[in-house]
Amino acid sequence: MNNSGEPETIVGEAEYLMIRLADEIVGGILEHAAAGRTYVLGLATGSTPLPLYAELVRRHRNEGLSFQNVVTFNLDEYEHLKPDDPMSYHAFMRKELFDHVDIKLELTFIPPAFYEDELSAAQAYERTITQYGGIDLQIVGIGSNGHIGFNEPGSEQTTRTRRVELTEATRRAAAKGFGGLENVPTHAMTMGVETIMEARRIILLATGAHKAAIVQKAMSGNISSTVPATFLQDHSSAAWYLDTSAAGR
């Protein structure tokens, strides 16, 4: 429990964190498989979870871990990037995880990049999460401005999946990968804060000294939409997995 304002915090070298997080995920997958149930995993993109995905792929290859009972929901997707665009989160997930494990691709869900009607597209995503019984474990990263998914500063606790405008800070952070700020999409579709908070467990993963200041704000600052990650302080089963650099403050 972390309603006391003291979130469960796990600090260690990045390698240790990823192994421990993989252990938790694998434990969930196996427990649900034994009960004949699907395990619903919420996934994040960005550079932070890359070693986690590598570890899950390794366990599939070397230890026979199966993803046959796993359903996944990603937090977000850039607007108007085709699924085969290397900068899309659809492509990212296939490259880093889905193409290397035995997951059923039709059970991997990512918010759409194209839609005629943003509201019905967003509601359809929410309905699919509900249809699979909600998210068992949601992995989230943190942006330098405190965003989770693409819930930028100003995103309220009651927000649901929706189309959002990206801040300049977020677009700048992504500019290198896109070969210039002008190529970074201006909008995205993201799970809302409330959508994320409905996950039965949430793990925020942060690594690197450049995340230390925002991690400190997110963990111990006033809970407010100014830093959307602060809402996690109110979750009954949230954990912060930090490497020693990100925990530096």
Residue 75 contacts ligand GLP per CB under 6 A: yes
DSSP string, 201-223: EEEEEE-SGGGHHHHHHHHHS--
Closer Cβ to ligand GLP, 150 or 240, answer by number: 150
Residue 143 contacts ligand GLP per CB under 6 A: yes
Burial (CB count <10 Å: 0-12, 13-18, 19+), residue 142: buried
* Number of residues lying near ligand GLP (CB under 6 A): 13
Residue 77 contacts ligand GLP per CB under 6 A: no
Q: Give the residues across from 189 on adjacent strands.
A: 77, 163
Of 69, 108, 145, 170, which lies in the binding site for ligand GLP, with binding defined by CB under 6 A? 170
Closer Cβ to ligand GLP, 21 or 75, answer by number: 75
Of 113, 142, 189, 218, which lies in the binding site for ligand GLP, with binding defined by CB under 6 A? 142
x/- letters, 25..64, toward ligand GLP (CB under 6 A)? -------------------xxxxx----------------
H helices of 39-185, in order, are 50-63, 89-96, 118-131, 168-178
Please give the order of strands across the beta sheet that includes 201-206: 8-12, 238-243, 201-206, 137-140, 39-43, 70-74, 108-109
Phi-psi group of 46: left, alpha or beta (phi > 0 → left; psi -120 to 50 → alpha; rest → beta): left
Of 51, 53, 70, 76, which lies in the binding site for ligand GLP, with binding defined by CB under 6 A? 76
Which residues sit at the interface with ligand GLP, rule CB under 6 A? 44-48, 75-76, 141-143, 149-150, 170
